[in-house]
Amino acid sequence: MNIILNPFGASQRDFYLLVIGVFLLSGCNQELKKTKAEDFKIELTGEAQGTTYSIAYYDIKERNLKSQVDSILDRIDQSISTYRKGSVINRWNKSINGSKIDAQFLELILESWTIYTATDGAFDPTVKPLVSYWGFGPEKFENTGVNHEDSEIWELKSLVGLDTLKVMIDSDTLRFSEIANSEIRWDSVFLFKPDSRMALDFNAVGQGSSVDKVAEFLVSLDIKVFFVEIGGEIVAGRPKPNGELWRFGIDKPESDLDKREMQAIANLRNRALATSGSYRKFYEREGVKYSHTIDPSTGKPVTHTLLSATVFSSTAAEADAMATAFMVFGKDSTLSFLAQNDYLGDYVYLIYDSAGVLKTYKSPQIEAIIDEK
């Protein structure tokens, strides 16, 4: 799934010419109220996927697209939301050998498989049993007061591995590698699981994918100047008609929400962005802090000094998943990974702890679009 962002980069004069055209066609109509580009800005807000969304776009036709956006997000929830009763993913998670999945589910699991293979399993949506074990699923920290045994963790690790899943298509049982690059897209396939206890959770890629879907919808309506944000995952199109870039704040890693401050401002155009961090979702027990980021290779919460990873990419789904993988890697391994895999085109802004002092790293490619506070 890729939204084509490059066409958005044309001159802002296009929008101004449209506004001038409206004015000229209207002649001397005394009732004409809107003659400036800013008059055609539409802003939408709402709730979806357990979080909020914020959308802004400029539309000469003045279309309010809230109902269509809500419909898109609702269809995605019906497929991949673990918080939606009866969703496709919940039916699959509760199944014995697997179950049918829809096109939305298949598209996202193939997107996940791409990142899974690129990161050697650091990003893996089958980590859900471990996430729940450590108290970070819908269970709301129910398991935080018990002792965590290595034997239990080892047992749950045996349930993790996206490459162990297979799909049945036209009576053929196939691995993801055999269909990932296919141009065919199926409305429904059967997704097998080798163990009934296996479970999937797309929280680390689903919101990014949802942002991409909404952006694709806007582009399909020839809306090119827009900003879509769902739960902190973002896609920005062309700059605003006055030439300003879309600005989005990157939080300083503070566990206290009342002390929320900006660490930096990202200036965006034709770009997707996602941030993952370990400083909000955690709990402490007997003096030990447990992060919600679980390393699939150890089965345990990460303990490194990386506090926040912001990724700039061509799609929000990729940025979302890669940010999660980098939080598993930690700072040093992330920088090593990027040096060895620059073809991925991921640019990062990292915030980490160095002997009690917050420090940052930003890729050279994004120096010009990051304003540090």
Walking along the chain (373 residues) 10 residues at a time, the average pLDDT comes out as 41 50 44 73 91 95 97 96 92 97 95 96 96 74 61 93 94 90 86 97 94 98 97 95 94 71 93 86 62 90 91 95 96 94 85 92 92 86
Confirm whether 124 is domain-assigned: yes
Instruction: Tell me whether residue 24 is in a domain.
Output: no
> H/E/C letters for each residue in 169-214?
ECCEEECHHHHCCCCCCCCEEEEECCCCCCCCCCHHHHHHHHHHHH
Domain-located, residue 148: yes
- The pLDDT value recorded for residue 182 is 84
Residue 221 lies in a domain: no
Residue 232 resides in a domain: no
The pLDDT of residue 22 is 45
Cα–chain center distance at 181: 21
The reply to whether 112 falls in a domain is yes
- The number of distinct structural domains making up the chain is 1
DSSP SS3 for 342: helix
Q: Is 368 a domain residue?
A: no
Collect all residues with Cβ–Cβ distance below 8 Å to 72 and sequence separation of at least 6: 210, 213, 214, 217
- Please give the pLDDT value at position 283: 59
What's the confidence (pLDDT) of residue 289? 65
CATH number at residue 132: 1.10.3980.10
Number of H helices, E strands in the chain: 10, 19
Residue range of the domain that includes 164 = 87-192
Q: Which helix (H) or strand (E) holds 272?
A: strand 271-277
What pLDDT does 278 receive?
A: 73
203 belongs to a structural domain: no
